[in-house]
Amino acid sequence: MTTLSDAPKIAPPSLWKTLGELKALRGLGKALLARRSPAQRSNGDPVLVLPGLGTNDAATELLRHHLELAGYDVHTWNQGINRGPRDGVMRKLSQRVRAIARSTQRPVRIVGWSLGGLIARMVAGRVPVAVESVVALGSPLNADPAASHLSSVYAALGGRDSRDPAVRAMLRDGAKVPVTSIYSRDDGVVAWQASVDAQGECHAREVASTHFGMMVDSDVHEVVAQALARR
């Protein structure tokens, strides 16, 4: 098992891959026209979807719609812009997961994009009894800010350093929870190695997508639905 202290440093994606992220923006209209119908994967299992750094629930709308069509009871994170794992955010998310589990009488599945995937795993570690599984998309699960081009944005938004004792404690808790990590070698924001080099049990699933494309590509969304359906 890799730990934070002995994990090798991972460089962020190349400039060429980063420029490739423009494909997601350019192909948004095409993606909307080419939406695939999901297979029925669930009969109302609750799913909480967390957005990436610097984004809000609007960024996950297409993914959430796909999961709803697949039969899941989908919930938004309802905390505005994701600025990182602050104390108040983690406390509210933990309370929200418990509340959803109580109201539905079912454990919650948590899906997170980018930094949202790392936060999802931390929250699952705090309330493991209320969580069924975690799925992360393009997430820096090794918690190394240097592996992402968004590290400066994270700092500007007041994000807490991964060396912060409180964050390290949350990461240790998160490592107790298995995660399905969906990654792409074409990710131009987060180094794909950071998505598979996670503490604890990590089941990696490769897709053909850019980082931002994961939020508009229905083929990727169907992979998420499949991962959520597995026990």
How is residue 36 annotated by DSSP? P
pLDDT digits (tens, 9 = 90+) for 4-33: 445 557 877 667 677 677 766 666 666 666
Instruction: For residue range 101-121, list pLDDT tens digits in order.
Output: 999 999 999 999 999 998 999
Mind listing the pLDDT tens digit for each residue in 74-101? 999 999 999 888 778 889 999 999 999 9
Q: Would you state the pLDDT for residue 149?
A: 56
Burial class (CB in 10 A: 0-12, 13-18, 19+), 86: middle
Q: How confident is the model at residue 200 (pLDDT cuts 50, 70, 90)?
A: confident
Q: Are 84 and 159 in contact (CB under 8 A)?
A: yes
Q: Which of 25, 2, 12 is nearest to 151 (CA)?
A: 12
Secondary structure E strands in the chain: 46-50, 73-75, 108-113, 131-137, 179-183, 202-206
Pick the more confident residue, 31 or 210: 210
* Mean pLDDT of the region 166-173: 70
Q: What is the pTM of this model?
A: 0.85
pLDDT surpasses 90 at 38: no
